[in-house]
Amino acid sequence: MPLDDCPIPLRRSQRLYADVIVPRHIAKAFTYLVPAELVQTLEIGHRVLVPFGQTMLEGAVISLSDHPPMGMKTAYLKEIHSLANGAGDAELSSTLFELSRKIAEQYVAPWGQCLRLVLPPTPTRKTSPLRYVVTDQGRAALNAGNCPARLRPILDRIARRSRGLLSSTLQQSRDRNSRQAVDVLEKKSWITVTASKSTATDSPKQSLKSSVDEFDRGEQADQSPSAEELPKPDPLWVTHVAECLRVNQARRIVLHAPWEHRVNRLAGAIQQAHAMNKSAIILSGEMARAEWLGHLLSTLTKLPITFFHTTSGSDRWKQAQDRTPSVVVGTRSAIFAPLRSIGLIWVDGEDDPAFKEPQEPRYHARDVACMRAEGERALVVLASAHPSLESKIDAGAETYTVQPETACQPEIELVDLRNEPGGTLFSRRLLVAMREAVENKTGVLLFLNRKGYAGALVCRDCGGVPRCPSCAVALTYYREVGRLTCRYCGLAAVLPDSCPTCQASRLSPVGEGTERVEVEARRLFPHAKIARFDGDTLRRSASARHLWEGVRSGAWDILIGTQVLFQRGPVPHRGLVGILHADSGLNIPDFRAAERTYHMLVDAVSLARPASAGGRVLLQTRFPTHHAVLAVLSGEPNRFYEEELTARRLLSYPPACHLAGLSVSGKDLRVVETAAKQWKKSLEQSLVRQEPVMIVGPVPMMGGRPKGHHRYQMLVKGVDRTLLCRRIHESVERMEREYRKGRIKFVVDVDPVEMG
């Protein structure tokens, strides 16, 4: 629905009607009567409280009229209750209001859901001072697979949180069966109730500090470099940024540079904006890295930094709104911070998949940053050590490249695993290099982007694989705790003695994970101090703190890690980096597999010392001629970008076109399949002759059946994004009307980052 600009002067009579969008999965606006006390003052963009069913919702006025919609019976209209936050602060920023509408159009999402993104958080009642905490008996039952299926989801949810779960949080989603499950868990002594230190929240998950200055400085300070340790930005960059900030026009710069060359440029740009009385928003994909970056910028700029996050409360929202100029650092939701006079938006690590919101409205923060910069007439910088292809060929952006000096690069050697014995984890050359590094105390880092002991167990007789009964995916093998786990729903199963298909007892692990690497490293280097960094070992805050402190102090002889190593502040350089399976990501059925592999290899190589300081990288692979591998070996990024872009254009994949993933899910396979085929037909019928839109599918989705749901998917390709979204919007509205009571879910993901 377009924003009503009210070209005809509005007669503010005693009868005034307002169309209000509410934050729900509803595409249309609802018409309300305007109460007499608001007739003369209510404006488009005002936040209002309106009755909606049995509850009261905050919405936004999108149009005003002195006559009701044609055919509507005014006797049934409800009246607006009041302005949302009193008369003083009810107006939503026009730029944020318009941004929410654009997101709805660009991502084929209900405007109401997009409105949620820009509305201030609603203060909630005080939370219960009680927490549920898992006991040792409960954790043992969970690890051993002895927990009954009906109790497992609740117990697993509590166990995943090191400080336990607030009883009020659990209460929000608890039905009668869950209440009984909690009672049983308490009786079994698998959970216990403790007093919580905090008893009040401003939002359901409020647990953040108000600014970076209040973070744990003891943890952050040790890893924060000083301004003197960082490369100075060149004068040409400083002058150009100052000019971009001064002209008050939307500008885009793609900064292709290693992090140490980005951070001083970022700090300088913030100070330049601040000197012009302009605010800045800095985005980072991961929360841990955003916190680290916020603290570092606070040190470098000497300015107050506000940390903004999806769970930030109304106090934080008001703090960001009132302070001008303001500097906000946060994850993707920080792009909606209610700042005034924005001059700079900086997206650090713009290629990070974490910038894509997985839930409706499924926006990409990088693209929304560009939208907001347009509305605010601000400079947006898309910065990365390896920009995405989309940013690399962005016709509307300037590209600024800072190549690392050759002297700062490690020596990179390729190990062809085809010449090694089958099943080799450490090649002969890597073992020799590891022994030298351990003896010389220069540090070893072994990189493998897969946790667990093995990807799966496979029967050597029938080839059967133990699978999750709900999700239908292979269970990951964890040798340390002797269990199989589903990576989708978290189901934990006891290690079987025999194959569930043929009952044979010859089950073997296939596909190495970091847990197996640790086992082998400890066997080969029994006296070395070894630490493993992955999603399992870093789950508990106390364990994570101990591991990171060991990294900074140089306590570990051998580090074994996944990509979580890149999600925080920089890791101190090591003398030897061993990339165990450089090509493992190439086998993923995703058109971005090569690009992600290249990004990951560049990041892994950056963890080694310069060659002048003895730094070496051994890159093990079975695909030594792949362009992602060759580009890393040669240190020539354009070699990768050119070949990858050629392949994308040949196959009609982004950035050569726009892509939308459409999926249908439900518990009845027959109904899901029928609905998917019908959706395709509806979409085809809406296309005008010769419109450049291609539809692939529908096919069953890969990756299992979470929560027992069947899923079908289609891919829709088109060069014109506006046309593509318009056709999808028309078709999904028809499908949702037809299957309103069919318990079928239709999902639209425009420009998806994950396939299948």
Distances (CA, A) of 183 to 138, 151, 180: 14, 10, 5
Q: Does the domain at residues 658-750 carry the CATH identifier 3.40.80.10? A: no
When mean pLDDT is compared across 198-207, 611-620, 673-682, the lowest value belongs to: 198-207
CA pair distance 746, 609, nearest whole angstrom: 49
Question: In the numeric block, which tokens belong to residue 323?
Answer: 């302070």
Q: Where are the alpha helices (DSSP H) in 276-306?
A: 287-301
Is residue 361 helix, strand or coil? coil
pLDDT of residue 202: 37
Average pLDDT on 583-612 reads 88
pLDDT of residue 598: 95
Q: Which 3-state string (H, E, C) describes 614-634?
A: CCEEEEEECCCCCHHHHHHHH
Tens digit of pLDDT for each residue in 412-428? 999 998 888 867 789 99
pLDDT of residue 483: 76
Q: Is the pLDDT of residue 219 over 70?
A: no
Written as one letter, the residue type at 93 is S
Q: Is the pLDDT of residue 752 over 50?
A: yes
What's 91's DSSP letter? B
Query: Judging by beta carbons within 10 Å of its beta carbon (0-12, 13-18, 19+), is residue 678 exposed, middle or buried?
Result: middle
Distance between terminal CA atoms of the chain?
A: 31
Of 571, 567, 558, 509, nearest in space to 532 by CA: 558
Q: Which CATH code, of 3.30.930.10, 3.40.50.300, 3.30.70.100, 3.40.640.10, is assigned to 212-401?
A: 3.40.50.300
CA pair distance 386, 182, nearest whole angstrom: 48
When mean pLDDT is compared across 69-83, 126-140, 309-323, 483-497, the lowest value belongs to: 309-323
Percent of the chain with pLDDT over 90: 30
Q: What integer best gives the mean pLDDT of the chain?
A: 81
Q: Is the pLDDT of residue 9 over 70?
A: no
Phi, psi for residue 67 in degrees, rounded to 5: -140, 150
pLDDT of residue 692: 80
pLDDT of residue 330: 92
Q: Where are the alpha helices (DSSP H) in 211-311?
A: 217-221, 235-246, 259-275, 287-301
Q: Is the pLDDT of residue 199 over 50?
A: no
pLDDT of residue 351: 93
577 DSSP β-pair partners:
445, 617
pLDDT of residue 287: 86
Is residue 485 helix, strand or coil? strand
pLDDT of residue 212: 40
CA pair distance 327, 319, nearest whole angstrom: 11
Question: Tokens 């890295």 — which residue?
Answer: 289
Q: Is the pLDDT of residue 690 over 70?
A: no
**The two domains 17-118 and 406-451+513-648 share their CATH topology (first three levels equal):** no
So where are the chain's domains?
A: 17-118, 130-195, 212-401, 406-451+513-648, 658-750
Written as one letter, the residue type at 373 is A
Average pLDDT on 312-319 reads 56
Between 383 and 144, the higher pLDDT residue: 383
pLDDT of residue 407: 56
Between 168 and 30, the higher pLDDT residue: 30
Q: How confident is the model at residue 630 (pLDDT cuts 50, 70, 90)?
A: very high
Q: Is the pLDDT of residue 222 over 50?
A: no
Of 116, 86, 147, nearest in space to 26 by CA: 116
Average pLDDT on 134-140 reads 80
Average pLDDT on 253-257 reads 93
CA pair distance 304, 319, nearest whole angstrom: 12
Give the CATH superfamily of 406-451+513-648: P-loop containing nucleotide triphosphate hydrolases (3.40.50.300)
When mean pLDDT is compared across 139-153, 591-605, 735-749, the lowest value belongs to: 139-153
Query: Structure pTM?
Result: 0.80
Q: Is the pLDDT of residue 581 over 70?
A: yes
When mean pLDDT is compared across 125-129, 682-686, 726-730, the lowest value belongs to: 125-129
Long-range contacts of 310-313 (CB under 8 A, 24+ apart): 311/203, 311/204, 311/205, 311/206, 311/207, 311/208, 312/121, 312/203, 312/206, 312/208, 313/121, 313/123, 313/201, 313/202, 313/203, 313/206
Of 62, 32, 34, nearest in space to 46 by CA: 62
Between 192 and 688, the higher pLDDT residue: 192
Q: Does the domain at residues 17-118 carry the CATH identifier 3.40.1440.60? A: yes
